[in-house]
Structure 1
Amino acid sequence: MTQVGEGQEAEESAPPVMTFGAPTAGEILAERYELVEHINNDSAGRLVWRGVDVVLRRPVAVVLRYPGGDSATEMLQAAVAASRVIHPNLVGVYDAIDEADRAYVVREWVDGQSLREMVTVDGPLDPARATAIGNAVASALAAVHATGMVHGNVHPGTVMISDEGRVVLADARTDGADSQENDIRAVGGVLYFALTGHWPHGEAPLHGATAGHGRAAIPDAVRDAGGTIAAPRQVRAGVPAYLDDLTMDLLDPEIAPPSSDVLAAELGRLDIPADEHFLDQAGPLRFTADPEEEPSPLAAAGGRKVALGIAGLLAVALVGLLIGISALGDDKDQKTEPVARPTSGAPADQPTQPATTRKLAVEDIRIIDPDSHTRDELDDAEKVIDGSEDEGWATDTYTAPKFGNFKRGMGVWIDLGSEHTVKSVKAVLSANGATAQLYTGTTDPGSSSSGDKKLYTDYVTTKNRIGEGFAQAEGSTLIFSNGFDPDKKYRYLLFWLTELPSNDRGYKIGVQEITVQGS
C-alpha cells in the first residue's frame, strides 16, 4: 500500500522527523479527517497519513507539515492550484488547511504503488504498458497546462498505478522553479525509466515510499565516455524503434518538444486495446508485431532505391534506343523529323527543336512524417510510382481534418536521381477534398525521425513552394503546372498534404499515383 509524499522522500539513514505535538492514530483533524495509519515521512518535514473522511466515509491521504504558516505556503498553494484541475489521471485534492502550528492537505487515497516501486520490484515494463503509462501522464499534464499551470514534480515516484490499473500523477509543486517544457521532457524520463529501470537525469529522485520497506536508489542511466546516455534499445532488447526515438527526442535538449496535448494525442493514438482496429490500414503497431515481420525502414528504403535506380537506368536506355531508331529512320525518309536534333553543327538559319516532354523516372521515394515518432505510416511509398492507380499509399484514419490537430502534415518525397527541367507534377488521390502543396529542395537528410524534421524545415518554405498550391483540380486529381522555373533544374520534390477529406470513419486520404513530366 503506497502513497507519494509532497516532497523528496527521506534517505533510509535519515532520522525520523520530530515535531512538537505530532499527530496520533485516532486524532480527528478539522472535526472531519480521522488519522488511521502513519505511512511515511519525507525530507521536507511532511508526514503522510492514511485517514478517513468521517463525513463522507471515504479513505483519504493526509499530508501534514509542522509548523504551518510561511513554511507551508508552497505546499498549500500547490494543493489549491491542483484542486482546480479535475482529470482522471490526476490525484484529487479535497482540502487544504493552515492551523498556524500545523498545516495539512487532504487528498485522494490511492491503493497501489508508484511506478518507481513497480519497476524496482518487477523490472522494466513491456513497451505497451510503458506507452499506456506515458499516455496517462501526458494527458494529466495536458489538463494542467491548459490552465497555464506547471506540475513541476513529474518522476517515477509521483506516477501512481492503482490496484485496478488506473494511472495518476500526484503532488504538483508551484515554487516557480520549473516550466511546462520541463514537465514534457520529464515524460521522456518516465518512459526511459519504465523501459529500462534507469533514470536518465543523473541523481535519481527519492520520492515515493512504501511503509515498512527499504528503498534502493534508482540506478543512473548507462552512459558512454562522453556522458551521453544509452538509448533504451541499447539497454534492453525488444524496445521498438518508434518508442526509442520518442523517448530520446523528449530527452534531447537540442530538439524542441511538442506541447503536452500533442504528446498526449500521439501516445493516445498508440495506447489502444489489442482488439481495436482503428489503425488496421497502417499495419500492426511496432510493439505488437512479430519481430520477424517488422521491416527495417532503412533497409526497405534502400531496397526500393536500388530497384528504382535499375528501373531508371532501363528507362534511360529505352529512351536512347528510341532516339537512335528515330534517327536511323531519318536517313530513309527525309519527311520524318527526329525526336531531338543535336545543336552541334546545325545550320544557323535552322532552329533547334526543343527537347520532348516525357515522364521522368523516379530513383527514390519515401513518406515524410516529421511529427510522428511511431513512423508506422511509411510503407507502400513505392506504389505511388508503380504506374497503377489501383494501389497506392494511404494515411491512417484521423479524428480531425488536420491530422487529428497534432501534425503539421505528411508528404511524399521524390528523388529524380539527377537534375531535370520539370514541366508538371500530377497526383491522383483516392478521394476529393484534400489540401496539398508542392515544394522543392536541394538536400536529402535521410530516412529517420530527425531526417524528416530537417527535411520539413528545409523544404516547406515560401521560397521553395511551387506556385500557390495546386493549379488545377479535376475531381481527385491535382496537377501542378504553374510555378516551375523553365531555367531551373529540379531533382527533389515534396508533395505535402495539409488537410484530409472525411469518410465514414474519420479523415483519411490515399495517394494512388504521382507522375512527373519534364525533360
Structure 2
Amino acid sequence: MTQVGEGPRAAEPAAGARGGLSVGDVLAERYRLEEHINNDSAGRQVWRGVDVVLRRPVALVLRRPGGSSAEEMLSAAVTASRVVHPNLIGVYDAIDEGTQAYVVREWIEGVALRDLVADEGPFDAERTTTVLHAVADAVAALHTSGMAHGNVHPGTVLVANDGRVVLADARVDSHTSAEADVRSLGALAYFMLTGHWPAEAGRSALPDGRRDGTGALVAPRNVRAGVPTYLDDLVMDLLDGKLALPTSQVLAGELARLDTGERLLLGGNGTLRFADDATPEVTTKATTPKLLIAGGVAVALVVAGLVFAIRALNSGGDDPLAQASASPSPQVTTSPVARAHALNLRADQVRIVDPKGDRSETKDAELIVDGNPKTAWQTSRYYNRSNFGNSKSGMGILIKLDQPSLVSSVKVQLTVPGASAELRYGNADQPANSAGDRTIVDTYKRLGEPIGKDSGTTMVFPTDTSVPYRYLMVWITDLPLETANKYRIGVQEIVVEVQ
C-alpha cells in the first residue's frame, strides 16, 4: 500500500536508514508508529500509526532533519488543513522537533493511483473521467482558498477501498502555481489512459509520455485503442503550453457535467448530452464506489467547456441541395454515425447577423475561423446582460457550408464564460444588411436546447445527425459582465464537425 509520494516506491530501508525509528515508537507523546509503509522520492518516510488519544489510525509523513528543510512541507500542511473537502486528505497535525518534522494526516485504506494503474493497466474513459473529476474538485477547492497544491501526481492521488478518491500531500516550492496544478490534471488523465506521465507537467520517476520522431508528445488515442476523440483532445489541450489553460474551477465544473451517471446519454457522434431539458447545475461531489468497477461500456466523452484545439480537415463538393423550409425543427437524436471531423471554414463562410445594430459590429468575423484562439470577434459594450441593453434581442454568427452536410456538432470558443446562446438553422442566406438579417432571425428555427451562462468558455451544440444542414446560426442572447456595468463577449473560434 502506497500512501504518498511521486515516482516508484523506494526499496525498503534498513532500520538505520529510518533515523532510528522503529515500530512502537511514540511521537509527540501521542502518535505510535505501527508500520513503515515506504519512502517517497523526496526523501520523506511514510508510516502507518495510531493516535493513542483519539484511538484512530493516522498516517505520518516524516522528514529528517526538521527546521528550515521541512518548512515547505509543514507550511503546505498547515494551509491544507484549513480546506475541508471530501476529495482532500484530512490533515490533523504538523510538528517540527528540529531533528525531525512530521505531518499527521488521515489514513486511507486503499492504494495510490500510480500503483492501481501499474497493477490493473490503463483506465477506460468513464473511469478516467470519474477520477479526474474528483481530483479537479479537490484542486479547485484549494485554489478557491488561495492555495496551490504543487504535487498533483499519480503517487499523491489515493483511491480508497470504498471508492473515494483523495488528493494528498501538498507541496509548496518555487514551481508551485495554480496553472501548474491544472497542467498536472491533464498529465494525470494522460497517465490513467496510457500508463505514462508526460514531462510537460514536470519530471517524474514514472516513464515519460510516448514521443514521435520529432520528440512531440503522442496523443493517448495513438498509444492505445479506444480513447474517445474528445477526451483525447482535452488531455492534449491541457498539456499544450501554447494554449491558455482554464481555471481549475471551470475544469471541475465541466467534468461535473460528464460525471453524472444515469443522466448522460450518448449522442450521434459520441458527444454527451443530458437526458432532460434542464440545464444541469455545476456541482462538486465526492466520487462513488463505481470508480472501482472495471469494465462496462466506455462512453465517448465531450468536455463541453474545454476543447480548445481545432482539428481542421478539408471538406469538398459542390452539389447543393436545398433543405425544405417546411421541415419540422429537428430534435437531438442518438443515432450511431461515423467518426466526425472538423471542417476548415473560410472567412467567406461566416458573417455577423445584426438586424437592429448600426453594422459597426459586423467587422472582423474572419477572426472566428482563423485558427488562432488569441484573436476574436467581439461585440460592443452594453449596459445590460440580456437583450443587449434592451436595444435588440441578440446577435448571430451565420455559418454557410459549401454543401448540405450531416453536422455532428458546432463548438463555439468564447473569450470569457457567462454568455447564453442557441443554435438555429435555415434554408437560405440573405443580403448582408439589416433587412436581410431580420429575415434570417425571423425564419431560422432553433435546433435543440439553448445553452446557458453556466456552460463555461466553450459551447458545444449537438444536432440531428440524420438531417443535412447548409445554413447554421449561433444566436447569442445574453452577455457576460466584462467591467462594472459593462457587458461584452468575444468569439475566438467556431468549429463545425461533420460526418
Q: Deviations over 1:242-274 (max 9, x none)?
A: 11110001111101110000111111111121x
Contact map agreement 2:129 2:258 (CA 8 A) in 1: yes
Identify the residue that residue 121 of structure 1 maps to in structure 2.
119
Q: Residue 29 and residue 240 in structure 1: after superposition, are their counterparts in 2 closer, same or farther (change >3 A)? A: same
In the aligned structure 2, how far is the partner of 1:35 from the partner of 1:237?
45
Q: Deviations over 1:307-364 (max 9, x none)?
A: xx4337xx7xxxxxxxxxxxxxxxxxxxxxxxxxxxxxxxxxxxxxxxxxxxxxxxxx
Identify the residue that residue 234 of structure 1 maps to in structure 2.
222
| Residue 88 of structure 1: how far off its partner (Å) | 0.9
Q: Residue 54 and residue 225 in structure 1: after superposition, are their counterparts in 2 closer, same or farther (change >3 A)? A: same
Identify the residue that residue 192 of structure 2 maps to in structure 1.
194
Identify the residue that residue 285 of structure 1 maps to in structure 2.
272
Residue 257 of structure 1 pairs with residue 245 of structure 2: yes
SS at match of 2:140: helix
Identify the residue that residue 329 of structure 1 maps to in structure 2.
none
1:361-400 to structure 2, matched below 5 A, reads: 387-388=325-326, 390-392=328-330
Q: Deviations over 1:58-98 (max 9, x none)?
A: 21101222332223222211111111111111111001112
Q: Residue 462 and residue 50 in structure 1: after superposition, are their counterparts in 2 closer, same or farther (change >3 A)? A: same
Give the number of equivalent residue pairs.
373
Identify the residue that residue 263 of structure 2 maps to in structure 1.
276
Q: Residue 124 and residue 290 in structure 1: after superposition, are their counterparts in 2 closer, same or farther (change >3 A)? A: closer
The code of the aligned residue for 1:460 comes to W
Q: Which moved more, 1:94-103 or 1:9-18?
A: 9-18
Residue 245 of structure 1 pairs with residue 233 of structure 2: yes
Q: Residue 16 and residue 515 in structure 1: after superposition, are their counterparts in 2 closer, same or farther (change >3 A)? A: farther
| Residue 27 of structure 1: how far off its partner (Å) | 2.5
Identify the residue that residue 382 of structure 1 maps to in structure 2.
none
Contact map agreement 1:150 1:178 (CA 8 A) in 2: yes
In the aligned structure 1, how far is the partner of 2:74 from the partner of 2:311?
56
SS at match of 2:320: helix
Identify the residue that residue 207 of structure 2 maps to in structure 1.
219
Q: Residue 457 and residue 515 in structure 1: after superposition, are their counterparts in 2 closer, same or farther (change >3 A)? A: farther
Contact map agreement 2:266 2:299 (CA 8 A) in 1: no
The code of the aligned residue for 1:310 comes to D
Contact map agreement 1:112 1:162 (CA 8 A) in 2: yes
| Residue 276 of structure 1: how far off its partner (Å) | 2.1
The code of the aligned residue for 2:234 comes to L
Q: Residue 418 and residue 226 in structure 1: after superposition, are their counterparts in 2 closer, same or farther (change >3 A)? A: closer
TM-score by length of 2: 0.62
Q: Which moved more, 1:33-42 or 1:152-161?
A: 33-42
Contact map agreement 2:66 2:96 (CA 8 A) in 1: yes
Identify the residue that residue 166 of structure 2 maps to in structure 1.
168
| Residue 189 of structure 1: how far off its partner (Å) | 0.8
Identify the residue that residue 129 of structure 2 maps to in structure 1.
131
Q: Which moved more, 1:73-82 or 1:61-70?
A: 61-70
Identify the residue that residue 290 of structure 2 maps to in structure 1.
none
> Which of 39, 42, 64 is the aligned partner of 2:40?
42
Identify the residue that residue 441 of structure 1 maps to in structure 2.
365
Identify the residue that residue 433 of structure 1 maps to in structure 2.
none
| Residue 225 of structure 1: how far off its partner (Å) | 2.0
In the aligned structure 2, how far is the partner of 1:463 from the partner of 1:474?
12
Identify the residue that residue 33 of structure 1 maps to in structure 2.
31
> Which of 420, 424, 443 is the aligned partner of 1:511?
424
Q: Residue 389 and residue 510 in structure 1: after superposition, are their counterparts in 2 closer, same or farther (change >3 A)? A: farther
Residue 267 of structure 1 pairs with residue 255 of structure 2: yes
Q: Residue 103 and residue 443 in structure 1: after superposition, are their counterparts in 2 closer, same or farther (change >3 A)? A: closer
Q: Deviations over 1:448-470 (max 9, x none)?
A: xxx4xx3x6544225899xx997
Q: Radius of gyration: which is bigger?
A: 1
Please provide the CA RMSD for this pair: 4.6
In the aligned structure 2, how far is the partner of 1:8 from the partner of 1:17?
23
The code of the aligned residue for 1:461 comes to Q
Contact map agreement 2:31 2:50 (CA 8 A) in 1: yes
Residue segments in structure 1 that go unaligned for 5+ positions in a row: 207-217, 292-297, 316-384, 396-412, 428-436, 481-489, 502-507
Contact map agreement 2:133 2:255 (CA 8 A) in 1: yes
Q: Residue 184 and residue 142 in structure 1: after superposition, are their counterparts in 2 closer, same or farther (change >3 A)? A: same
Q: Residue 172 and residue 387 in structure 1: after superposition, are their counterparts in 2 closer, same or farther (change >3 A)? A: same
Q: Residue 177 and residue 510 in structure 1: after superposition, are their counterparts in 2 closer, same or farther (change >3 A)? A: closer
SS at match of 1:161: strand
The code of the aligned residue for 2:377 comes to V
The code of the aligned residue for 1:85 comes to V
State percent identity of aligned pairs. Answer: 46
Identify the residue that residue 319 of structure 2 maps to in structure 1.
310
Q: Residue 222 and residue 248 in structure 1: after superposition, are their counterparts in 2 closer, same or farther (change >3 A)? A: same
Residue 2 of structure 1 pairs with residue 2 of structure 2: yes
In the aligned structure 1, how far is the partner of 2:210 from the partner of 2:239?
14
Contact map agreement 1:126 1:195 (CA 8 A) in 2: yes
In the aligned structure 2, how far is the partner of 1:135 from the partner of 1:310?
45
Identify the residue that residue 92 of structure 1 maps to in structure 2.
90
Identify the residue that residue 204 of structure 2 maps to in structure 1.
205
Q: Residue 457 and residue 48 in structure 1: after superposition, are their counterparts in 2 closer, same or farther (change >3 A)? A: closer
SS at match of 1:67: coil
| Residue 440 of structure 1: how far off its partner (Å) | 5.4
In the aligned structure 2, how far is the partner of 1:225 from the partner of 1:426?
52
Residue 182 of structure 1 pairs with residue 184 of structure 2: no
The code of the aligned residue for 1:18 comes to A
SS at match of 1:255: coil
The code of the aligned residue for 1:36 comes to E
Contact map agreement 2:220 2:227 (CA 8 A) in 1: yes
In the aligned structure 2, how far is the partner of 1:423 from the partner of 1:53?
66
SS at match of 1:249: helix
Q: Residue 271 and residue 439 in structure 1: after superposition, are their counterparts in 2 closer, same or farther (change >3 A)? A: farther
In the aligned structure 2, how far is the partner of 1:394 from the partner of 1:161?
37
In the aligned structure 1, how far is the partner of 2:8 from the partner of 2:81?
23
Contact map agreement 2:77 2:170 (CA 8 A) in 1: yes
Identify the residue that residue 460 of structure 1 maps to in structure 2.
377
Q: Deviations over 1:149-202 (max 9, x none)?
A: 111111111111111111111110112332111110011111111001112117
Identify the residue that residue 150 of structure 2 maps to in structure 1.
152
| Residue 233 of structure 1: how far off its partner (Å) | 0.7
In the aligned structure 1, how far is the partner of 2:428 from the partner of 2:418?
21
Q: Which moved more, 1:25-34 or 1:256-265?
A: 25-34
